[in-house]
Amino acid sequence: MTKSETGKLGEESVCSYLLGMGYRIIARNYRIKGGEIDIIAENGDYIAFVEVKSRKPDSLVSGFEAVSKRKQGLIIKTAADYCLKHPNVWQPRFDVASVIIENGRVLSIDYVTNAFDTTGYNIIF
């Protein structure tokens, strides 16, 4: 599998996971200049901006470690843009999913709700 195919499989798997948890997927691969959010989902209380990191079982850096402070800032900026363009009543939340994939098969999905927040950023939702 190519890196792109692996990433797509990871995102599809997380979408299925979220649907099974009662979420509704409202956007995928939302992009602005300088940022992207893999999945935007809502569950009636929260709007979850989800970063998906797909890895092989023997990767040196975990999916969670790959979401650096810089990457968090880009996600927050992109989420603020989304909320400005698509007003909603849900509380924003930033989640991270780490998907382990081997030979085209998803071995595990580790999902962290509220993995980071806007502390230290000059952005208000």
Q: What is the pLDDT of residue 111?
A: 98
DSSP state of 122: -
**Mean of pLDDT values over 63-79:** 95
Segment 108-112 long-range contacts (CB within 8 Å, at least 24 positions apart): 109/13, 109/14, 109/17, 110/63, 110/64, 111/14, 111/17, 112/64
For the domain covering 3-116, report its CATH number: 3.40.1350.10
In whole angstroms, give the CA distance from residue 72 to residue 114.
Answer: 12
Distances in whole angstroms, Cα of residue 29 to Cα of each of 18, 39, 60, 119:
16, 6, 26, 24
Average pLDDT, the chain: 95
Higher pLDDT, residue 112 or 120: 112
pLDDT tens column, 80-91 = 999 999 999 999
Give the whole-angstrom CA distance, residue 57 versus residue 59: 6
pLDDT beyond 90 at 124: no
Mean pLDDT to the nearest integer, 45-69: 94
The Cα 110–Cα 81 span in angstroms is 27
Domain range annotation of the chain = 3-116
Mean pLDDT of 92-120: 96
Report, in angstroms and rounded to the nearest whole number, the Rg of the chain calculated over CA atoms.
Answer: 14
